[in-house]
Structure 1
Amino acid sequence: MTFPLPHGLPGLFIALEGGDGAGKSTQAALLCRALEGSGRAVVRTREPGGTPIGEKLRSLVLEHGHGEIDARTEALLFAASRAAHVQQVIVPALERGDVVVCDRYIDSSVAYQGAGRGLDPQAVLDVNLWATNGLRPDLTVLLDVDPAEGRTRRTSGAAAEDRLESEPDGFHASIRAAFLELAQEEPERYLVLAATGSPQDLHRAILEALTGVTA
């Protein structure tokens, strides 16, 4: 796999995408550990969040108890968090030559607020491209998970589901289909992996895709 390095900055930008319960956090941790072990400077971050204002916005859109949030407001809150994240964290890291490993990015908004909430996916994409000044990842790893399997994983522990996680399986099925469609439209930017694989097998597949790029 080759990468277009669309941002023209010396660093490498990797986004992990997929439905809730796909194992993104696990793979982010494994990838960062491996990259740091090879001597690379790594910034691990997440969306929504990554900055003080982003973490406040994260609580508004994901925690229960903040009242009704309509689809457009939800989409704009995610975009606002992302704008701060790119400006304050991601671009400075890429300018330093670091590897940025981000748990979710623009494609999550296109899938969740576009397909999931029924907004125009192109409009969601456009507002996020404006918010980020067009910054796109070098590689997007899509961990594809069946909605029922994702819910089983999310509810196996003590943690309660957040606002989006607690949506019905039909909502999550729409999101899964949207992610797969995005990957089909831009195969050069995506690595699609079935999340049913073992964490170590998935980790090896991601490292193999990055061979030569992180050297």
Structure 2
Amino acid sequence: MPGVFITFEGGEGSGKTTIAALIKEALDKEGYQVTLTREPGGVEIAEKIRDIIHDVKYTNMDRKTEALLYAASRRQHLVEKVIPALERNEIVICDRFVDSSMVYQGIARGIGIKEVYEMNLFATENILPKRTIFFDIKPEEGLKRVYANKDREINRLDLETIEFHQKVYDGYLSICDEFKDRIVKIDASLDIDGVFQQVLEKIREVL
């Protein structure tokens, strides 16, 4: 496909969503056609699945059910929104993708990174981003941001223990090493402009 697929990854409160909007604005001004989207969600069916996954009422959700719901949401989002945008030669910036499932469900939930990866390759028909940017910030700092931001929804994952979030962080560091040809790290502990400049530089490398 002629477009450029870029994904943002990181733990809770890493600032991905804020920076994604700023990057889209900057690239739009330069004349690029940019689709900004998110997972889980991005299209109506996937957003309905997101509501279930994030609902704080469902703390008893089975870990494999959770992984399958993410994969189902991802599939619908991909075929309905991401692939058409790439076929139109657009830049697609997606807040989370397959790497989130490998880390959250594969590693932190203990399902197995290989099992989750293969499940998602089936869902995506082997489509992976050209570049993935990992927003590197310690989980304690990220969670401080979450609870300091009164406008941000508190979802089911935010309520997990610090040990869970540490597993997520360690998992991201692990896949950064495993997929270093695709994933690049940026220091997400800096102020907004500092993070924005790092991300923009990494994106320019693949445009």
Structure-1-length-normalised TM-score: 0.92
Residue identity over aligned pairs, in percent, reads: 39
1:167 Cα offset (Å): 0.2
Q: Name which of 49, 55, 71 aligns with 1:79.
A: 71
1:88 corresponds in structure 2 to 80
Q: Name which of 111, 120, 140 aligns with 1:119.
A: 111
Q: Secondary structure at the match of 2:81?
A: helix
Q: Name which of 180, 195, 207 aligns with 1:187.
A: 180
2:89 corresponds in structure 1 to 97
CA distance 1:63–1:147, change in 2 (3 Å):
same
- The answer to whether the 8 A contact 2:130-2:206 is kept is no
* Amino acid in the other structure paired with 2:31: G
Point out where structure 1 has 5 or more consecutive residues left out of the alignment.
Answer: 1-8
* Amino acid in the other structure paired with 1:143: F
- Please state if 1:135 is matched with 2:137: no
Of 108-117 and 61-70, the range deviating more from structure 2: 61-70
1:67 Cα offset (Å): 5.9
Q: Secondary structure at the match of 1:14?
A: strand
1:19 Cα offset (Å): 0.2
Could you list the per-position Cα deviations for residues 21-59 of structure 1 after superposition, in whole angstroms to 9, with x for gaps in the alignment? 000001101110111111011110000001111000000
Query: What is the distance in 2 between the residues matched to 1:209 and 1:153?
Result: 24
1:212 Cα offset (Å): 5.3
- Which structure: greater helix fraction? 2
* Amino acid in the other structure paired with 1:201: G
Of 160-169 and 72-81, the range deviating more from structure 2: 160-169
1:109 corresponds in structure 2 to 101
Where does structure 1 differ by over 3 angstroms across 4 or more consecutive aligned residues? none
Query: What is the distance in 1 between the residues matched to 2:194 and 2:148?
Result: 22
Q: Secondary structure at the match of 2:9?
A: strand
1:190 Cα offset (Å): 1.4
1:207 corresponds in structure 2 to 200
Of 108-117 and 59-68, the range deviating more from structure 2: 59-68
Query: What is the distance in 1 between the residues matched to 2:206 and 2:140?
Result: 35
1:51 corresponds in structure 2 to 43
Aligned residues: 206
Structure-2-length-normalised TM-score: 0.96
1:198 corresponds in structure 2 to 191
Query: What is the distance in 2 between the residues matched to 1:206 and 1:67?
Result: 34
Query: What is the distance in 1 between the residues matched to 2:135 and 2:197?
Result: 13
* Amino acid in the other structure paired with 1:110: M
- The answer to whether the 8 A contact 2:33-2:90 is kept is yes
1:163 corresponds in structure 2 to 156
